[in-house]
Structure 1
Amino acid sequence: MSQTSVPVQTLQPLHRRKGHWWRLMRKYLAVLQVSIANNIAYVTEVFFRALFLFVLVFILSQLWQTTYTLRHATLLNGFSIRDMIWYLLAAETIALSMPALTKRIDLEVRSGQLAYQLIRPSNYLLYNFAHYLGERLVRLTMNSVVGVILALFIAGVPHLTWAGLLAWPVAVFLAICIEFVAYFCIGLLAFWTEETQSFTLIFSRLTLVLGGVLAPLDVFPEPFRYIARLLPFSTILYGPARTLVHFDLTQFYWLLVQQLITLGVGIIILMAVYRIALRRVTVNGG
Structure 2
Amino acid sequence: MQTEIGMAPGARIVARLARRARLSTLKYLAILRVSILNNLAYIIEVFFRALLLVVLVFVLTQLWKTTFTLRRTHVLSGFSIADMIWYLVAAEAIALSLPALTRRIDQEVRSGQLAYLLGRPASYVLYNYAHYLGERLVRLLMNALIGALLALIMAGVPHFTWQGLLVWPLVALIALSIDFVMHFSIGLLAFWSEETQSFSLIFSRLTLVLGGVLAPLEIFPQPLRSIAQALPFSAILYGPSRTLVHFEAARLGTLLIQQGLTLLVGTMIMLTIYYAAVRRVNINGG
Q: Do Structure 1 and Structure 2 share a fold, with TM-score over 0.5? A: yes
> 1:72 is matched by which residue type in structure 2?
R
Deviates further, 229-238 or 58-67: 58-67
Partner of 1:18: 18
1:157 paired residue number: 157
Following TM superposition, where does structure 1 have runs of at least 4 consecutive aligned residues deviating by more than 6 angstroms? none
In structure 2, the partner of 1:93 is 93
Offset of 1:77 from its aligned partner? 0.5
Inter-partner Cα distance in structure 2 for 1:227 and 1:56: 26
- Structure 1 position 107 matched with structure 2 position 107: yes
How far residue 69 of structure 1 moved from its aligned partner, in angstroms, is 1.1
Q: What residue number does 2:45 align with?
A: 45
Aligned residue identity for 2:126: L
The percent identity for this pair of structures is 63
Residue type of the alignment partner of 1:19: R
Partner in structure 2 of residue 3 of structure 1: none
8 Å contact 1:175–1:237 — kept in the other structure? yes
Q: Following TM superposition, by how much is the alpha carbon of 1:153 offset from its aligned partner in structure 2, in angstroms?
A: 0.2
* Residues 232 and 9 (structure 1), Cα distance of their counterparts in 2 relative to 1, 3 Å cut: farther
Q: How many positions carry a matched residue from both structures?
A: 279
**AA partner of residue 206 (structure 1):** L
Paired residues for 1:166-181 under 5 Å: 166-181=166-181
Could you say which residue in structure 1 is the equivalent of 2:66?
A: 66
The 5-angstrom pairing of residues 211-250 of structure 1 reads 211-250=211-250
- Which whole-Å CA distance do the structure 2 matches of 1:141 and 1:9 have between them? 47
Q: In the alignment, which residue of structure 2 is the partner of 1:284?
A: 284
TM-score, length-scaled by structure 1: 0.96
Partners in 2 of 1:284 and 1:75 — Cα distance? 61
**Unaligned 5+ residue runs, structure 2?**
1-7
- State the AA in 2 paired with 1:201: L
Contact 1:110/1:194 (8 A) holds in 2: no
Residue 201 of structure 1 and its aligned partner are, at CA, apart by 0.2
Seen in structure 2, the aligned counterparts of structure 1 residues 190 and 13 have a Cα distance that, compared at 3 Å, is closer
Deviation at 1:241, TM superposition (A): 0.4
Structure-2 change in CA distance of 1:9 and 1:73 (3 Å): farther
Give the distance between the partners of 2:9 and 2:227, measured in 1 at CA.
Answer: 49
Alignment partner, residue 120 of structure 1 = 120
| Amino acid corresponding to residue 190 of structure 2 in structure 1 | A
Cα offset for 1:13? 5.0
State TM-score, norm by structure 2: 0.96
Q: Secondary structure at the match of 1:273?
A: helix
Rounded to whole Å, the distance in 2 between the matches of 1:258 and 1:230 is: 8
**Cα distance in 2 for residues equivalent to 1:10 and 1:131:** 35
Q: Which digits, 9 at most, give the CA deviation of each residue in 1:102-121, with x for residues without a partner? A: 00000000000001100000
Measured on the aligned residues, the alpha-carbon RMSD in Å equals: 1.2
